[in-house]
């Protein structure tokens, strides 16, 4: 008789399907539900970018691309980053399968089993799962009580001999907050003092509404030997399905991450390289103006409902506190789907219970209707809470 198969990777087995998927599935199965759960632009990729993809296919760009990306796209990214005040040569850039693979490959390259990664929360879910996949441990720094900013002493208190890296994300998914100068300096001080890597996930850097935004790598070039900048074509140019992103780091670090990328992906998509170059020259100003107008409407409406909401400074999410309703965030989201026909994501998915994430990547008509439904749902609930 054949012996039973040996256990597979315990870190994978331990991974739970995300509540985001469960809630989005519930919203999708509920007739008439307007989902504000998805973190992706509802716009189509601009015409010029799509036209270049068709041309690239016609030119026969269907073979393996160089592992790290075409020289032409890497040069274009280098020039684009220089325009943003970030100095990385073409040789210091790897084109990846979206930011998702850039995050995974970076952590794969950096982490040994037992290492720790400090993640200020609320945060995008992949940082924790990609850390765990490497048999390393995510360590949360709760920023909710500090206005979603990073406190130097709180950060320092989490450092142990096992700490390897800090992951930051500004503008942030799910809060829309941008890290202020003192948060960036706190990260830099601690990274410098303890020899930690800084992974700066900047995928929303083109979707910033207010003044005062600074990139970590621009403010702290003295730490370029330990900084990894991650960016993506997905959000500014509505290219989520293209799976195109990149990472930039100094050569000694980059060459190690490139090995992880080569193992995980071989290369990014050949016929998406030329269109990605076109994207770098497209100005997402129209989309940004639309998001900004929606941001103002959403924040006003949520605060009027009695759900305290910070004004997001970037990205396309609002993150209201729903504690006043007396419901937990998962219950709030389940009932919002069932009773109001509105899909939202529980804050606990991002490490911040008591909040929900609302994405304003839907048509203005759907957004207005969803806010109307939500107001009725919350006021009914507040009526119950007052009577109880």
Interface residues toward ligand PLP, by CB under 6 A: 39, 98-100, 124, 169, 173, 201, 203, 232, 234, 240, 245
Q: Which is nearer to ligand PLP, 20 or 374 (CB)?
A: 20
Q: Which is nearer to ligand PLP, 98 or 176 (CB)?
A: 98
CB of 367 to ligand PLP, least distance (A): 19
Q: Which is nearer to ligand PLP, 39 or 346 (CB)?
A: 39
Q: Which residues are bridge partners to 165 per DSSP? A: 117, 197
CB of 64 to ligand PLP, least distance (A): 21
Q: Which is nearer to ligand PLP, 230 or 278 (CB)?
A: 230
Residue with the shortest CB distance to ligand PLP: 98
Angle value at C-alpha 317, between 46 and 280, nearest 5 degrees: 30
CB of 127 to ligand PLP, least distance (A): 8
Closest among 39, 346, 82 to 169, alpha carbons compared: 39
Closest among 88, 90, 107 to 99, alpha carbons compared: 107
Neighbours of 123 (CB within 10 A): 24
Q: Which is nearer to ligand PLP, 276 or 301 (CB)?
A: 276
The strand order across the sheet containing 137-142 reads 93-96, 245-248, 227-232, 197-201, 163-169, 116-121, 137-142
CB of 238 to ligand PLP, least distance (A): 11
CB of 160 to ligand PLP, least distance (A): 25
Q: Are the C-beta atoms of residues 39 and 203 closer than 8 Å to each other?
A: no
CB of 39 to ligand PLP, least distance (A): 4
Q: Which helix (H) or strand (E) holds 317?
A: strand 317-318
Q: Which is nearer to ligand PLP, 117 or 305 (CB)?
A: 117
Please give the full DSSP string across 276-295, using - where no structure is assigned. HHHHHT--THHHHHHHHHHH
């Amino acid at each position: 008789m054949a012996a039973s198969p040996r256990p597979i990777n315990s870190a994978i087995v331990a991974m739970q399907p995300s509540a985001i998927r469960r809630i989005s599935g519930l919203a999708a199965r509920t007739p008439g539900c307007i989902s504000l759960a998805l973190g992706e632009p509802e716009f189509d990729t601009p015409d010029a970018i799509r036209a270049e993809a068709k041309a690239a296919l016609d030119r026969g760009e269907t073979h393996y691309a160089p592992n790290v990306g075409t020289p032409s796209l890497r040069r274009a990214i280098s020039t684009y980053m220089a325009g943003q005040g970030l100095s990385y040569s073409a040789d210091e850039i790897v084109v990846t399968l979206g930011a998702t693979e850039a995050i995974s490959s970076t952590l794969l390259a950096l982490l040994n089993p037992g290492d720790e990664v400090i993640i200020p929360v609320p945060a995008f879910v992949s940082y924790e799962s990609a850390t765990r996949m490497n048999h390393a441990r995510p360590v949360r720094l709760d920023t909710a009580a500090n206005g979603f900013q990073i406190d130097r002493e709180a950060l320092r208190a989490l450092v142990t001999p096992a700490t390897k890296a800090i992951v930051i994300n500004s503008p942030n998914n799910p809060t829309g907050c941008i890290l202020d100068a003192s948060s960036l300096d706190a990260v830099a001080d601690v990274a410098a003092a303890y020899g930690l890597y800084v992974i700066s996930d900047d995928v929303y850097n083109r979707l910033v509404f207010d003044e005062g935004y600074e990139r970590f790598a621009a403010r702290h070039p003295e730490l370029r030997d330990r900084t990894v900048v991650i960016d993506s074509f997905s959000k500014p140019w509505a290219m989520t399905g293209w799976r195109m992103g990149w990472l930039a780091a100094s050569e000694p670090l980059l060459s190690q991450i490139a090995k992880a990328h080569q193992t995980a992906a071989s290369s990014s998509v050949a016929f998406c390289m030329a269109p990605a170059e076109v994207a770098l020259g497209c100005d997402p100003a129209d989309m940004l103006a639309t998001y900004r107008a929606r941001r103002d409407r959403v924040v006003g409406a949520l605060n009027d409902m009695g759900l305290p909401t910070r004004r997001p400074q970037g990205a396309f999410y609002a993150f209201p506190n729903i504690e006043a309703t007396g419901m937990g965030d998962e219950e709030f989201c389940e009932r919002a789907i069932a009773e109001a026909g509105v899909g939202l994501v529980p804050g606990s998915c991002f490490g911040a219970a008591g909040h929900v994430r609302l994405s304003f990547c839907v048509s203005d008509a759907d957004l207005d209707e969803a806010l109307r439904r939500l107001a009725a749902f919350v006021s009914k609930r507040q009526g119950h809470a007052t009577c109880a």
